Structure 1
Amino acid sequence: MHKNKELIVNPYYDFDINLLDCKFLGEGHNGIVYLLPDGNVIKICFNIKSFIGEYIILEKVNGNKYFPRIYDIGENYMIREYVDGDMLPKYIRKHGFNDELGKRIIELLKEFKVLNFTKIDLRCKDIFVQPNGNLKVIDPKKFYTKDRDFPRHLSKGMYKLKILDPFLEVLKKEEPNLFDAWTPKIMNYIKELKY
């Protein structure tokens, strides 16, 4: 296992988990997620390299309001806080986009810089809008290992959801410097998508 496993001194769980007692939440390329009876989740990972990368990120940001807390890890699983709410695309389809949501997304991206992430980007489906309106990131990937200085994947998702222009308007109003830095890159990327 990864050398950081020793950092988990007091395991959160000291008993076997029967997945038949758990609610299936979803499955992606790298793992499958179940809701545990106590309200936390277990993610069983298929890809050990991705698992280790995700664990390192969550361990470094543990306690940050934008990320689920991590409680325990094993050879191919992690137990972490359950993130309630809707994925950003589903939330937008139900409630639409507004300036307040745009501001929260901008604050999330600014937090990435505070956390010294080298990748200032994520996919729309990795942002959950919680019932109280706060944002949480699930499935963090390569935030410390990939260089990207603008939200490329996020822009692509927003473009497909038809909210990129309203988001850029909020960005221009709230963070003109980021607007000036990101917009040319975003527009070039979107132009490539069209062809």
Structure 2
Amino acid sequence: MDIKDFETFANKIKVRNIENEDVEVVNYSPLVMMGKGRQGAVFQYSDDICIKVFGNEEDCEREHYALSLGQHTDLFPKVYAKGPLFIAMEIIKGVDLREYLQSQPLTEELSLKLIDLLITFKEIGYERIDHHKRQIFILPEGNLKVIDVARTVWRDRVYPYPRKLLTSLGKENKETFLSHVQALHPELYSEWTHFIEMEEQARQICQKIMNESTDKGKLKDKSKKLLTTNDETVYSNQLESLVHKVFKEEWVKAMLVKGYDPDKVMDIIDEHIEKKMMQENKILQEKKMMQEKKMTQDKASKGNREQDSVQTKEVDKNKNNKKDRYPDKEDFYRSRGNDRIFQSGGFYGVRNERYREFPIKEKDDNGNNYGRKGKKYRR
């Protein structure tokens, strides 16, 4: 079996990938196409050997790597040769699980073989441990083999349970398969059903979010709370933290190149930064104490000034008190009443201290009053 023969036929077959569709094939070789999919097309080379031609080298490398991981098992077709865009491998002679279940029931024995298949996937290092039923073949002797394993490796995100297999089985066969899993391993059944429920809840949440309308104007106003540059203190702390983080990461990279232990380097950096922050906090605390002390002194000074002002007002008030100004005049009163005649018979004016004596008002023979300001004023 010469690899050049495979290359000769593969070079006469052109395969082009189409997004979300099966590949487009142009065949100038005498080989008959057996089928095609998203990554490539399969052509019969002999009764036992086929050539799978890919649309790009990455898919070819991926599938060859996945097949090589399981060559020591009976679960995968045997690989004979590989080129940049083709793989020559064994032809699987059997019926795929999709066609089988159309006429046959899913027995407990078949379910156990499917579980064993998933275990093999896990043991050889596949990231995705499930497979579609059309890619699983049942041989005449009852063994299982799988094809199209390129998507089982080099995956960033995978389902934590055999979602593709369960979904492809259909509702009735899915329940049957899960009942067989529950009988064999209740804990595994509980874990798988848990992830199924979480997936359903995630789907419901996604639909709710997609159907809801968001008030962008209101959200824009609320998003101002995330700003840090408008507060000088917060901005300073955030910027300082960012610089420390970048410094730490870059310093660790530099030390790794020199062969130092990264954990020790990080501990030393953390200790240095912690000391620095403690010193800065101490300085800030001292500044804060000085400001509080100054505020207390200013407050006390203000209180003293207010007290002095009150005392000054009291003094000024006392100065206007005539009893204090004229303590020797016992019967002095300042009055605005109509009756300005006092018991002592004396009156002391405001602007001067001339003594004037006013007799008690009397009536003359004609009945006229001799008032203080009357026409008949008597001294």
Which fold has the larger relative contact order, with Cα–Cα distance below 8 Å and residues 6 or more apart in sequence?
1
State the number of aligned residues: 182
Residue 187 of structure 2 aligns with an amino acid whose one-letter code is: N
More helix by share: 2
Q: Name the CA distance, whole Å, in 1 between partners of 2:138 and 2:188.
A: 23
Aligned partner of residue 110 in structure 2, secondary structure: helix
Q: Name the CA distance, whole Å, in 2 between partners of 1:116 and 1:30.
A: 22
Q: Which of the residues 38, 52, 55 maps onto 2:61?
A: 52
Structure label with greater radius of gyration: 2
| Matched residue, 1:3 | none
Gaps of 5+ in 1: 1-10
CA displacement, residues 63-110 of structure 1 (integer Å, 9 cap, x when unaligned): 321111111111211001111111211111022211111111011011
Note if contact 2:50-2:90 (Cα within 8 Å) is conserved in structure 1. yes
| Matched residue, 1:26 | 35
Residue 88 of structure 2 aligns with an amino acid whose one-letter code is: I
- Aligned-pair distance for 1:170? 0.8
Q: Name the CA distance, whole Å, in 2 between partners of 1:114 and 1:125.
A: 22
- Aligned-pair distance for 1:114? 1.3
Q: Name the CA distance, whole Å, in 1 between partners of 2:119 and 2:137.
A: 17
Q: Which of the residues 90, 103, 107 maps onto 1:81?
A: 90
TM-score (structure 2 length as normaliser) = 0.45
CA displacement, residues 34-89 of structure 1 (integer Å, 9 cap, x when unaligned): 12224111001113222211111112222321111111111211001111111211
Change (3 A) 1:59 1:182: same
Note if contact 1:155-1:186 (Cα within 8 Å) is conserved in structure 2. no
Change (3 A) 1:127 1:190: farther
- Aligned-pair distance for 1:188? 4.5
Q: Name the CA distance, whole Å, in 2 between partners of 1:37 and 1:142.
A: 27
Residue 142 of structure 1 aligns with an amino acid whose one-letter code is: R
**Pairwise CA RMSD:** 2.3
Percent identity of equivalent pairs: 26
- Aligned-pair distance for 1:119? 1.5
CA displacement, residues 98-137 of structure 1 (integer Å, 9 cap, x when unaligned): 1111111011011112112222222121111111111111
Residue 86 of structure 1 aligns with an amino acid whose one-letter code is: V
Note if contact 2:79-2:88 (Cα within 8 Å) is conserved in structure 1. yes
TM-score (structure 1 length as normaliser) = 0.83
Q: Name the CA distance, whole Å, in 1 between partners of 2:162 and 2:151.
A: 14
Gaps of 5+ in 2: 13-28, 208-379
